Structure 1
Amino acid sequence: MTVPERRGLTRRDYLRAVVAVGGASAISACLDERGEVDVPAGTNDPGSLPARQHAWNEFLETDDDGNVRPPEHHVLVALSLADDPAGENDGDSLEEATETVEESLRTLERAYEWSNDGLLFTVGYTPSYFDRFDGKLPETVDLPAPEALTDREDPAFDEFDALLHLASDHPEVVLRAEEALFGELETVNGEPVETDLTGVFDRLEERRRTGFVGPGLPAEHTDVDGVPDSVPEEAPFFMGFRSGFQESQATEDRVTIRDGPFASGATQQLSSLDIQLDVWFEQESHAQRVMKTFSPDHDEDQVGDIGEALEISNGLTDEQIDDTESDARNRGVVGHAQKAARAREDGEPIILRRDFNTVDGDTPGTHFLSLQREMDDFLSVREAMTGADLDVGIIQNNGILGYIFVGRRGNYLLPPRSHRALPTPSPD
């Protein structure tokens, strides 16, 4: 892909398109548009960084209500091992490759502050990666192969080795970080790049994914087929409402693996979804979208135009959650959040969502990324959200289920920072 022409695009839309393309020309386009941005440097002391790769929340900004505000720009880089250092139990080869990966990642941590104003990132490993080893993952790690979860799904699966998730408020930061990791830059934010991932990992360009999240960003994509003009001007997500409310998200503690060699890690699930936005906005009224997103008892005044009236909670009560089955039977409609909340434990959410919008493939969608202690937690939430047990009638009244379609799915282990570089099933 080539960098698009600036003509006719808003500034933020142009920068989003540049991130989607990637590469040196995209970095140059960012600099031409924004100039050089002062980005805070990182640290030479890896011990000052959290043990958890997924420890982002305390380093992110919050909105006016106190909800964590995710980074605006995201890149998902699919990785495949160039060689198999464990293929013949070659311990020296594995150790050398591990050191290369770790030093490459530390370069980014020296270059950029661990924050949305700098760079946040994780590296996760698929079940396919661990299958090459003789040993098995410990019982404290629940990492099944991805699968279709309903008879409406027929997704492709992420069966490469690893996935790098780069996130920042600055588009040039995610682009430069990616290029530095693959030997395309000599310095990154003033830090010399002396080691990179080439020779250990290959980038799978056809599996590279990008996205964005933030007020006003979805509405700037009405030039993309399937994105109607009726997307609310200030909505942070394509479907028109705020998300990620503090009390509707699991804590980072809740999604963290507690025991075993991968303690302080987590599991990650990634589903790439297409969204039927034209039907969602042009055939449904705002009141209907409110009901299907939250619950039949939610009204427009309670929610507001884009959920701005909701502060740190989606507004669901225990009674509304308990009434999900009767709402389906008697009222013929249930809310997405209402259904999913049935999977809570002791009233608390069990997954942490870090999803973001995308127009990969020039169609509107969402990369639904969730973190959880065990993959069973995601499966429980997905089963509740699917609502196969509910007598709704037509699928369009079953929350948002009739408007989203799963294209790809992958399951990953996010090891703790100490084992993030080419972990074996028994790293200790």
Structure 2
Amino acid sequence: MTLPDRSSLPRRDYLRALVAVGGTTALSACLEFASDGDDGDPDVPTGTSDPESLPDRQHAWNEALTTDEDGNVRPPEHHVLVALSLRDGVFDDAGDGTDHSVAEDARETTESALQTLERAYEWSNDGLVFTLGYTPAYFDRFDGPLPDAVGLPEPEALTAQEAPAFDEFDAVLHLASDRPEVVLEAEEGLFGQRDRLNGLEVETDLTGVFERLEDRRRTGFVGAGLPADRTDVSGVPESVPEDAPFFMGFRSGFQASQATEDRVTIESGPFAGGTTQHIESLEINLEQWFQQENHTQRVSKLFSREHAEEELVGDVGEELTTTNGLTTERIDATADDAREHNVVGHAQKAARAREDGEPPLLRRDFNTVDGDRPGVHFLALQRGIDDFVRTREAMTGADLDVPMANNGIRHYIFVDRRGNYLVPPRSLRALPPADPDAEIEGD
């Protein structure tokens, strides 16, 4: 891909565009720009000399990340989803995934490469956080199934209106940092294009184990002002609020409206300490959202009718501190709002999937302009994919007597891709077998 024109873009736009392009040339341009910037950014903090000291949960990010002024976890600004396919010979020599000698070499290589990242970069916004998750297609090569405690079905269309493509490769690596050069450098170092990462020599990479699927690479960003910076992209109107962290104009990720990391963690079986991950890539019709709807209508459709009538949200959600404001009463009123007021909110509908008042999903989604169109890569962690499906069905609101145009934000978002993943605990993240207990017993 062609590099963006540095002279025509503000600093943040240029760096975000380099992450989207990817590759060694984009990394070189990013490092060059960072070195002569005038913002006084500190050096990237180095990681730990003992990766074993990090939490066993790969998804244990929250305590390491910074928080906003209200105490909500602040996600990293830059994200890359690297799609991976296993190379021939890693498992195939025995024909059934039971050639432990071949697999063990590949596992050691994978773990060594991932520990290089943890030694090179601090586990933080200013360094790097990441996860490695595996699709059902990866586990299909094994004779035995995943344990019952792991709910990882094949992805599927969840409404009659969608016809998404599915992630049927083997794995996805999610890299996230406030520093665009870090996600680019980490990705290139893992695939043999960088000799050193943050000054640390790269002794092992993933090139002998995984192939990068460049056409399935996905990127994105989240942060106040970043969406409004993308009005140069077709489909992003000038009316995106200047301070909004997400394309649809409002804050998200409120602490009390997110599942805790404990809630989304698998509790039993050999994959205890892991989680499941769903990624769906969505296109957003922002022009219709901003040009045909006023602020009150957008609040009604994204939150609830009462949020709009009582002016609970503010311009970009700044009036909502640690919760999206969906009380039990507002959630219980969903069907009445549909029938009597002809509108329901997206968050209002989804909140019906709560259990004992607790949300089942931990969202780590981010904006994207992949394909030069505005969208979002919706990334959710949950104990089992059935939690996601149940929440998605509640959000769809097929049971509600309301026109599609007023049924939350369904009229404005379109699903392009879906994928389900198991994110094992760190101790099993390197090419896990379908049943680790069975493999240990058989060794």
- 1:120 and 1:415 mapped to 2: Cα distance? 15
1:336 to 318, 338, 346: 346
Aligned: 1:360 with 2:365 = no
Matching of residues 44-83 of structure 1 within 5 Å: 44-83=49-88
1:186 to 191, 195, 206: 195
Question: 1:311 corresponds to which residue?
Answer: 321
User: What SS does the aligned partner of 1:220 have?
Assistant: helix
Q: Which has the larger displacement, 182-191 or 245-254?
A: 182-191
1:325 to 335, 355, 360: 335
User: What SS does the aligned partner of 2:431 have?
Assistant: coil
Aligned partner of 1:91: which letter? H
1:198 to 193, 207, 214: 207
Question: 1:3 corresponds to which residue?
Answer: 3
Question: 1:402 corresponds to which residue?
Answer: 411
Question: 1:260 corresponds to which residue?
Answer: 269
Matching of residues 10-409 of structure 1 within 5 Å: 10-35=10-35, 38-87=43-92, 88=94, 89-299=98-308, 301-392=311-402, 394-409=403-418
- 1:381 and 1:84 mapped to 2: Cα distance? 39
C-alpha displacement at 1:84, in angstroms? Answer: 4.2
Task: Using structure 2 for the length normalisation, give the TM-score.
Answer: 0.95
Task: Using structure 1 for the length normalisation, give the TM-score.
Answer: 0.99
Q: Deviations over 1:311-343 (max 9, x none)?
A: 001111111100100110111000001000000
User: What SS does the aligned partner of 1:339 have?
Assistant: helix
Query: RMSD of aligned C-alpha atoms?
Result: 0.9
- 2:387 and 2:10 mapped to 1: Cα distance? 40
C-alpha displacement at 1:48, in angstroms? Answer: 1.2
User: What SS does the aligned partner of 1:303 have?
Assistant: coil
- 1:47 and 1:201 mapped to 2: Cα distance? 23
State the percentage of identical aligned residues.
71
- 1:222 and 1:395 mapped to 2: Cα distance? 27
- Paired residues of 1:226 and 1:276 also in contact (CA < 8 A): yes
- 1:39 and 1:98 mapped to 2: Cα distance? 28
Q: Deviations over 1:41-75 (max 9, x none)?
A: 11121221001000000000000000000000000
- Paired residues of 1:79 and 1:162 also in contact (CA < 8 A): yes
Aligned partner of 1:74: which letter? H
Aligned partner of 1:259: which letter? S
User: What SS does the aligned partner of 1:361 have?
Assistant: helix
Aligned partner of 1:6: which letter? R
Q: Which has the larger displacement, 87-96 or 365-374?
A: 87-96
Q: Deviations over 1:217-274 (max 9, x none)?
A: 0000001000000000000000000000001000000000000000000000000000
Aligned partner of 2:156: which letter? E
- Paired residues of 1:86 and 1:133 also in contact (CA < 8 A): no
User: What SS does the aligned partner of 1:301 have?
Assistant: coil
C-alpha displacement at 1:2, in angstroms? Answer: 2.1
- 2:285 and 2:183 mapped to 1: Cα distance? 29
User: What SS does the aligned partner of 1:399 have?
Assistant: coil
- 1:203 and 1:112 mapped to 2: Cα distance? 22
Q: Deviations over 1:109-129 (max 9, x none)?
A: 000011111000000000000
C-alpha displacement at 1:32, in angstroms? Answer: 2.4
Structure 1 stretches lacking a partner, 5+ long: none
User: What SS does the aligned partner of 2:47 have?
Assistant: coil
Question: 2:440 corresponds to which residue?
Answer: none
Aligned partner of 2:427: which letter? S
User: What SS does the aligned partner of 2:297 have?
Assistant: helix
- Paired residues of 1:180 and 1:193 also in contact (CA < 8 A): yes
